[in-house]
Amino acid sequence: MFARSFQPIFRRTYVSYKKYYLHPLEKNVSLISFSKDPKHLAIGKISHGSVKYDELSDSNSEKLIDLDDTKFKENPEFMNRLLDFFAKNIYHDFSYQLETAEYAGSFMPVYDYRSVPEYGRRSDVDDVFGWVRVNDRCEMIEGSWQANTFYRPFTQSHGLPQLTDFTMENMEDITKP
């Protein structure tokens, strides 16, 4: 989706969540990714205004970039792959299996961990990847996944995606070229 103009010499991380990596795309634009490998699929691209990639470091990237809705552009191919991964694998994610008791006989939201809802509260629609049906025995029903087309990989109030350990363990496969 996003063409790269040159290869990075250094890898940078985005401070707020150590699992993000920045890879240069243009002088003042970087790809943001869950992978150290710049060839892997990026979450999206971010503009860092007058700050050049070479001026960024692991300790100052968050302060200098000041990410907002106008500086982030999502990569639809990344979202398609992530939602496809959920459709096939959400049933095996222990983090979400723990929550099924609250949703017996209904649909359970599969939410982004950047904004975990308080007990008994609903997640913002922007922070829900999708829903999965839970049977009366508190088990997710395979094949019942419904993706949320309103999910946003960046929100002004909660930032970039934060995923479960299970999903992160599979991220290299999700983003591989």
Query: Tens of pLDDT along 105-152?
Result: 999 999 999 988 877 778 888 999 999 999 999 999 999 999 999 999
Same domain as 23, residue 61: yes
Same domain as 98, residue 141: yes
Integer CA distances (angstroms), 54 to 9, 40, 175, in order: 9, 21, 25
Tokens encoding 79: 């979202």
Residue 58 lies in domain: 12-74
Question: Residue 164: inside a domain, yes or no?
Answer: no
Residue 59 is predicted with a pLDDT of 76
- Residues 6 or more apart from 57 whose CB is under 8 A from it? 12
Count of domains forming the chain: 2
Residue 77 is predicted with a pLDDT of 97
Angle at 59 between CA 51 and CA 70, to 5 degrees: 40
- 15: phi then psi, degrees, rounded to nearest 5: -55, -40
Residue 9 is predicted with a pLDDT of 33
Same domain as 67, residue 16: yes
Q: How confident is the prediction for the chain on average, in pLDDT?
A: 87
Residue 16 has pLDDT above 60, yes or no: no
Q: Greater confidence, 41 or 124?
A: 41
Q: What is the C-alpha to C-alpha distance for residues 57 and 34, in angstroms, rounded to an integer?
A: 17
Q: What is the average pLDDT across 65-77?
A: 89
Residue 18 is predicted with a pLDDT of 62
Integer CA distances (angstroms), 9 to 24, 37, 126, in order: 9, 12, 35
Question: Residue 4: inside a domain, yes or no?
Answer: no
Residue 51 is predicted with a pLDDT of 81
Most confidently modeled range among 29-33, 89-93, 99-103:
89-93
Q: What is the average pLDDT across 94-108?
A: 95
Integer CA distances (angstroms), 114 to 42, 108, 175, in order: 18, 17, 20
Most confidently modeled range among 1-5, 33-37, 68-72, 90-94:
90-94
- Residues 6 or more apart from 40 whose CB is under 8 A from it? 33, 34, 172, 175, 176, 177
Q: What is the average pLDDT across 46-70?
A: 81
Same domain as 125, residue 69: no
Residue 55 is predicted with a pLDDT of 82
Q: Is residue 66 very low, low, confident or very high in pLDDT (cuts 50, 70, 90)?
A: confident
